[in-house]
Amino acid sequence: GQNIDQPTEMTATEGAIVQINCTYQTSGFNGLFWYQQHAGEAPTFLSYNVLDGLEEKGRFSSFLSRSKGYSYLLLKELQMKDSASYLCAVRDHQAGTALIFGKGTTLSVSS
Amino acid sequence: TAGITQAPTSQILAAGRSMTLRCTQDMRHNAMYWYRQDLGLGLRLIHYSNTAGTTGKGEVPDGYSVSRANTDDFPLTLASAVPSQTSVYFCASSQDQGSTDTQYFGPGTRLTVL
């Protein structure tokens, strides 16, 4: 089966850096996605990792270690608008389709 | 382009009634998905379709049915709604089910079953 764990809540201040961790257990790993979801809105794609290492995209970076079943999303220069839920999702080719989502991490950014 | 549209935006439904949630995409994506999102449980897959004419069951398919008559539309039907089906329902699509394909989500339908 699959299992994805991420912290339920995190807080940070404007301008700071925050790291949101995600650990997963899956039998047929085939890629890891991070999505952002503001309250009352749909999830939107942030990043994708399938090989080990860091993927950087502006203020957001995502890291993957397949041997450790571990990923993190790094948000730099935090802004109030970054207050949202961040969803870690894994694609497992043995599951056949779609994404398996973690329960999400709610990030609150204060001034 | 509109991307993915869902209708209705929200609905209150009496238990035992049937309802179809509509989902349409204009991106010519092959794969489409239905998720439900509940507080504390995250997004869970209900049904999926890899291509027009095919469908499959996800993690929580009981009480739901889908059809995929064409590429653009993927309706979700609740035959006899129960209060536990109160949730926010998201439709998503991707070009195909290859490993690099990103899923894009519709705006969601908030359903309350009383």
Whether the predicted pLDDT of A1 surpasses 70: no
Average pLDDT over residues A13-29: 94
Query: Which tops the pLDDT comparison, B2 or A59?
Result: A59
From chain A, pick out residues whose CB is under 8 angstroms from the CB of B99.
30-31, 50, 91, 93
Strand boundaries in chain A, DSSP class E: 3-5, 9-13, 18-25, 29-37, 44-49, 53-57, 60-65, 70-75, 84-92, 100-101, 105-110
pLDDT tens readout for residues A82-98: 999 999 999 877 655 57
> Could you tell me how many residues make up chain A?
111
Pick from A37, A86, A97 the residue to mutate for testing the B interface (most B CBs within 10 Å).
Answer: A97
Return mean pLDDT, chain B. Answer: 93
pLDDT number for residue B2: 67
pLDDT number for residue B98: 61
Residues in chain B whose beta carbon is closer than 8 A to a beta carbon of chain A?
Answer: 31, 33, 35, 40-45, 48, 50, 56, 58, 90, 97, 99-100, 102-108
Q: Could you tell me how far CA B81 lies from the centroid of its own chain?
A: 15
Helix (H, G, I), strand (E, B) or coil at B13: strand
pLDDT number for residue B82: 98
pLDDT number for residue A28: 82
pLDDT number for residue B11: 97
pLDDT tens readout for residues B80-104: 999 999 999 999 999 875 656 788 9
pLDDT number for residue A73: 98
Average pLDDT over residues B54-64: 93
pLDDT number for residue B26: 95
Return mean pLDDT, chain A. Answer: 93
From chain B, pick out residues whose CB is under 8 angstroms from the CB of A41.
107-108
